[in-house]
Structure 1
Amino acid sequence: MRLVVIAIGRLKQGPERELAERYRERFDDIGRKLGFRGLEIHELPESRARDAPTRMADEAAAISALIADKSIMVALDERGQSLDSAGFARQLGRWRDESVPNTIFVIGGADGLLPELRRKAKLCLSFGAATWPHQMVRVMLLEQIYRSATILAGHPYHRS
């Protein structure tokens, strides 16, 4: 299974980008041994439309264009389900074992995801009730993906 992160907005050079890249590289090292075919990150520009509904629609169209058929979509959304790390790892492992070709994680723009796009998600995932900057959400997601791989591998990174 290939993992893909689609994010509205770019990470600028600096600590967030460095940390995100560190977790992506760590995942690549362990993920291939576990049957994952890599982790791609697609950064899409924020819509410049004047009103939120149009911005959300523009961004949803750009996101949808990158989602291949038979992919599972996971939407990052503050109203989503909160999973602990072991539960997240079990879910990724289940999809991998079911031969899902792609799991696509979607991080929307400042206005969030278009409700129609969010409804297409197999899982809406939240990192808590607090509002997080998109850059931090991406870093937290990549860390959880890496942590999931270590859990699936029985590596001591995760301590229960």
Structure 2
Amino acid sequence: MLLHIIARGKIGRSSEADLTDRYLQRIQWKTKVTELPDTGGNIPDPIGTPVRSVVLDERGKAMRSKDFARKLERWRDEGVRETRFLIGAADGHEAETISSADLLFSFGPATWPHMMCRAMLAEQLFRATAILAGHPYHREGPR
């Protein structure tokens, strides 16, 4: 399954870009990043079908890393070819994008800079795939 980050704004050469790249390079699954302008621009056509859409939004569902990993695992096992992770610009997403999402995902109620969200998402994607591979990267603390 392709993990495809579609993000508004250009990250350029920055510490956030370096951190994002560091995590994406560790992922054993296929990954892709598409940058769109802050407004306008077309979301690219899917690589294959079926496709799932995850929209990052502060009103979305906060998930434990293991639960996020299991969701990706379920989609992969159902034959999903591409999971898209949409990161909006400063003004968020259009209503149509939110309403068509398979999952509204949140890093909590705080507002995060969209460039930082890329790095946080890349880390969570690495963590999820590491969990599914049985890799010791993820250590769950006491509950």
Structure-1 residue corresponding to 2:14: 14
Partner residue of 1:55?
Answer: none
State the alpha-carbon separation in 2 of the partners of residues 6 and 115 from structure 1: 17
Aligned to 1:83: 63
Provide, for residues 27-56 of structure 1, a one-character-per-residue CA deviation record: whole Å limited to 9, x for no partner.
1xx33xxxxxx1000011112xxxxxxxxx
Among 28, 31, 36, the residue aligned to 1:44: 36
User: Which structure has the highest helix share of the two?
Assistant: 1
- TM (norm. structure 2) is 0.92
Tell which structure's C-alpha radius of gyration is larger.
1
Q: For 1:55-134, what aligned pairs fall within 5 Å after superposition?
A: 58=40, 62-63=42-43, 66-68=44-46, 70-134=50-114
Identity score, percent:
47
Measure, in 2, the Cα distance between the counterparts of 1:103 and 1:14.
26
Structure 1, unmatched stretches of 5+, are 32-37, 48-57
Q: Please state whether the residue corresponding to 1:77 is helix, strand or coil.
A: strand
Aligned length: 138
Paired residue type of 2:130: T
Which runs of at least 4 in structure 1 moved beyond 3 Å after TM superposition?
A: none
Picking from 118, 137, 143, the partner of 2:117 is: 137
**What TM-score do you get using the length of structure 1 for normalisation?**
0.83
Q: What is the deviation of 1:67?
A: 4.1
Q: Secondary structure at the match of 2:60?
A: strand
For 1:53, the equivalent position in structure 2 comes to none
Q: CA RMSD in A?
A: 1.1
Q: CA deviation at 1:146?
A: 0.2
SS in 2 for 1:138: helix
Instruction: Write the deviation string for residues 89-119 of structure 1: whole angstroms up to 9, x where unpaired.
Output: 0000111111101100000111110111111
Instruction: Give a deviation string over 1:101-142, Cα, whole Å, max 9, x none.
Output: 110000011111011111100000000000000011110000
What letter corresponds to residue 138 of structure 2 in structure 1? Answer: H
Conserved 8 A contact 2:50-2:79? no
